[in-house]
């Protein structure tokens, strides 16, 4: 007798695929329905030659429940993944996004039937513009990387309108997130990488040498990916502006700034935000993102279409106002996403902003900074922190010295943390710190959580010195152990092949 799916699940180190489970005839519908495909699809459209799994409802439910229990997420444990801002996502935001008036609204509903939704978009745009010192925001792009692309398209349209087509270079510091140079290359710009100076920041002298008549945009992150504030930002902005270029702010990680300082005041002309990071929207695992872009006054005409406009008197919204989507914008780069924006995320972000208020958001940033510095000081007791000074929302430690001493790399520590029930810090960038561990606790971690994390990491470093081999084997207690990362990247095997058939589904 073939094993049951429960036996299979216990026996396998991995959960068997749905395809490997089931028996012919199991998938009898629970409700005998006249809506069965046979009753309304023409016979020639029906197929029975697909190797689909034949499972009962219970088997399918158990399969997906098992998989869900193998997941790790912010709702389960500490997730200090630097640059990703994995903070608690208050459930009330989801409740707001699930209100039937928002959830069930058709994206093509005429404006007069969608006033509430348009007001949400309008108010979120204004809130973001005020928080970050920009003239206007568009909620259109779906994620940070797409927002970068959109912003560079705006820069391109702007220079074209000014007859400055020779501006083809984008300057990017060597600490930048990988999406920055990638977005610039996609728009057809040439990327010039800027070497950071000794204190991990942009060197105005180097920048002066790099800019000129061909400079289109300088893309910067501030605080940068080392978690350090670029204190010469005013001079940097002046150098780029004097050369005729635009300053772009990568605001994917805006968690350190809210209510404290604004990119608009630092001299940035355009920027993006990841509301799925800073403004508590569940993300990770490739979930839907939301990347609003903000622009200064001179770039407003180029924003993607449509934008939300409001008629009626100035001032707070009232009954006298009507909201509308405006499409007729001749200088716009056009729509970059279907259906105006990832609308449910706009609701979540606005709910978060209103729940906190201006003072609350400042407190969020202050606590995020405090938590990061608490971890930095504690972790510096047993791991090298190359730029060990007051940081903002995150900091970068290095396992380089530990590796020299023991052979244990940042990767091994990261895998060891997985065994201990933590998500690992980011270890693949910033590229200028070898064996980096980029750690971002966020404001929602308690002191007890931070202390327990420090002690776990301290213990792993001790194990590295005593018994490095054991860390090379980690993780041992996760559903998937150490994989051959090169082979996984070069020869991904993502398809199930029915046994014996030699065929691919």
Ligand X SMILES: *Cc1c(COP(=O)(O)O)cnc(C)c1O
Footprint of ligand X (CB under 6 A): 83, 143-145, 177, 179, 221, 250, 252-253, 274, 289, 291
| Nearer CB in complex with ligand X: 114/349 | 349
| Nearer CB in complex with ligand X: 250/269 | 250
| Nearer CB in complex with ligand X: 290/415 | 290
Residue closest to ligand X, measured at CB: 144
Please, what is the minimum distance in Å from the beta carbon of residue 468 to ligand X? 31
Please, what is the minimum distance in Å from the beta carbon of residue 182 to ligand X? 10
Length of the chain in terms of residues written: 505
Taking a C-beta distance cutoff of 8 angstroms, is the pair 443, 383 a contact? no
Please, what is the minimum distance in Å from the beta carbon of residue 248 to ligand X? 11
Cite the DSSP H helix spans in 47-109: 57-69, 91-97, 100-103
The two three-digit tokens of residue 380, written as one number = 């510096």
Please, what is the minimum distance in Å from the beta carbon of residue 89 to ligand X? 15
- Cα separation, 2 vs 21, whole angstroms: 10
| Nearer CB in complex with ligand X: 15/196 | 196
Task: Tell me how many degrees the CA angle 144-270-177 measures, rounded to the nearest 5.
Answer: 40
| Nearer CB in complex with ligand X: 63/337 | 337
Please, what is the minimum distance in Å from the beta carbon of residue 406 to ligand X? 30
Strand 436-439 relative to strand 395-398, pairing: antiparallel
Write the burial class of residue 341 (CB in 10 Å: 0-12 exposed, 13-18 middle, 19+ buried): buried
| Nearer CB in complex with ligand X: 253/341 | 253
Nearest CA to 251 among 295, 305, 285? Answer: 295
Taking a C-beta distance cutoff of 8 angstroms, is the pair 441, 375 a contact? yes
- Cα separation, 454 vs 410, whole angstroms: 15
Please, what is the minimum distance in Å from the beta carbon of residue 270 to ligand X? 14
Please, what is the minimum distance in Å from the beta carbon of residue 436 to ligand X? 14
Nearest CA to 267 among 240, 305, 294, 299? Answer: 240
| Nearer CB in complex with ligand X: 63/392 | 392
């Amino acid at each position: 007798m073939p094993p049951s799916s429960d036996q299979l699940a216990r026996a396998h180190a991995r959960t068997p695929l749905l395809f490997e489970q089931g028996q012919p005839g199991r998938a009898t519908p629970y409700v005998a329905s006249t809506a069965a495909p046979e009753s309304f699809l023409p016979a020639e459209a029906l197929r029975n030659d697909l190797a689909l799994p034949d499972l009962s409802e219970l088997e399918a439910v158990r399969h997906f429940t098992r998989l869900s229990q193998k997941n790790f997420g912010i709702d389960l444990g500490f997730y200090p993944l630097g640059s990703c801002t994995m903070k608690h996502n208050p459930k009330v935001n989801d409740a707001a996004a699930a209100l039937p008036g928002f959830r069930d609204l058709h994206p093509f509903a005429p404006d007069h039937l969608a006033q509430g939704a348009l007001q949400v978009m309008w108010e979120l745009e204004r809130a973001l513009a005020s928080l970050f010192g920009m003239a206007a925001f568009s909620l259109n792009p779906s994620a940070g990387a797409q927002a970068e692309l959109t912003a560079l398209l705006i820069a391109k349209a702007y220079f074209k309108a000014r007859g400055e087509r020779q501006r083809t270079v984008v300057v990017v510091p060597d600490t930048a997130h990988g999406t920055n140079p990638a977005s610039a290359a996609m728009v057809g710009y040439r990327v010039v990488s800027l070497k950071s100076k000794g204190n991990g920041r942009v060197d105005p002298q180097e920048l002066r040498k790099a800019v000129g008549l061909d400079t289109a945009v300088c893309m910067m992150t501030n605080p940068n990916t080392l978690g350090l504030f670029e204190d010469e930002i005013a001079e940097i902005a002046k150098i780029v502006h004097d050369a005729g270029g635009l300053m772009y702010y990568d605001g994917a990680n805006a968690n350190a700034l809210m209510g404290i300082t604004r990119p608009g005041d630092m001299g940035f002309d355009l920027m993006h935000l990841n509301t799925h990071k800073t403004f508590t929207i569940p993300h990770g695992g490739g979930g839907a993102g939301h990347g609003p872009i903000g622009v200064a006054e001179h770039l407003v005409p180029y924003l993607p279409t449509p934008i939300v406009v409001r008629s009626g008197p100035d001032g707070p919204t009232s009954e006298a106002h009507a909201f509308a989507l405006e499409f007729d914008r001749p200088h716009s780069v056009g729509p970059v996403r279907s259906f105006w924006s990832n609308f449910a995320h706009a609701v979540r972000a606005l709910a978060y902003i209103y729940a906190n208020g201006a003072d609350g958001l400042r407190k969020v940033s202050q606590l995020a900074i405090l938590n990061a510095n608490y971890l930095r000081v504690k972790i510096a007791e047993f791991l090298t922190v190359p730029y060990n000074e007051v940081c903002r929302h995150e900091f970068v430690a290095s396992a380089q010295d530990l590796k020299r001493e023991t052979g244990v790399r940042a990767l091994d520590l990261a895998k060891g943390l997985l065994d201990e029930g933590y998500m690992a810090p980011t270890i693949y960038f910033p590229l200028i710190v070898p064996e980096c561990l980029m750690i971002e606790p966020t404001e929602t971690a308690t002191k007890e959580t931070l202390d327990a994390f420090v002690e776990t990491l301290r213990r792993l470093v001790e194990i590295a010195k005593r018994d490095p081999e054991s860390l090379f084997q980690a993780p041992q207690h996760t559903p998937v152990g150490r994989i051959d990362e090169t082979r996984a990247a070069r020869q991904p095997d993502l398809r199930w092949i029915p046994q014996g058939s030699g065929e691919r589904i």
